[in-house]
Amino acid sequence: MKLPKIKILDEKNKMLRKVSTEVTFPLTSKEKQDIKDMITYLTMSQIQSEQEKYNLRAGMGLAYVQIGTPKRIFVIVEEIEEGKFKNYVVINPEIVSQSAELVFVGEGEGCLSVNREVEGIVPRCARITVKAYDENGKCYQIRVREDIAVAFQHEIDHLNGILFTDRIDKNNPYKNIDKMREI
């Protein structure tokens, strides 16, 4: 695999605070290529030999705004077993339902735009149902749970100009930890 030329914006970049705009179909050839490049980048970032070769931090999701274009697109690459990946391409997402149960990532959430250690927990819904479109403009609905639900919520936040660090209580980073389940 060849590492795509993607520049991921740092959290200090004001572009990450913009609310992304709806995407119109059909997608442009650049949008299609960017989606492919984001998938390749995320896949490579999860393969140890590629991580070491290119000095990559592991990531499973990337929003279009993180590569400098505030449009409502994100991709998630989930390693389902060693070297086998499932890709999610999510365009113009809308959360249509969510569980009351809250979870948090035990080792803490991370972000390819946040290049530092962050203390604290991010409350997320354990399950969500999302209505979205694929690259061909076909509408679909998907119910996701646990770590994929967290990833979806994290990326949807990006589309709304929100970073995961915003969701951590500044005065009490582990607030209400006893009311959530660790995943």
Rounded distance between C-alpha atoms, residue 86 and residue 142, angstroms: 14
Among candidate residues 31, 82, 117, 155, the one labeled active-site is 155
Domain count, the chain: 1
Rounded distance between C-alpha atoms, residue 8 and residue 11, angstroms: 10
> Can 81 be counted among the known catalytic residues?
no
* Domain contains 109: yes
What's the predicted TM-score (pTM) here? 0.96
Rounded distance between C-alpha atoms, residue 152 and residue 109, angstroms: 12
* Domain contains 35: yes
For 57-112, write each residue's pLDDT tens digit.
Answer: 999 999 999 999 999 999 999 999 998 999 999 999 999 999 999 999 999 999 99
Phi, psi of 143 (to 5 degrees): -105, 125
For 104-136, write each residue's pLDDT tens digit.
Answer: 999 999 999 999 999 999 999 999 999 999 999
Residue 1 confidence (pLDDT): 85
Average pLDDT over residues 129-158: 98
Q: In 3D, which of 49, 48, 46, 35 has the Cα closest to residue 6? A: 35
Query: What is the CATH number for 35?
Result: 3.90.45.10
* Domain contains 5: no
Q: Which amino acid is at 157?
A: D
C-beta of residue 60 within 8 angstroms of C-beta of residue 101: no
* Domain contains 7: no
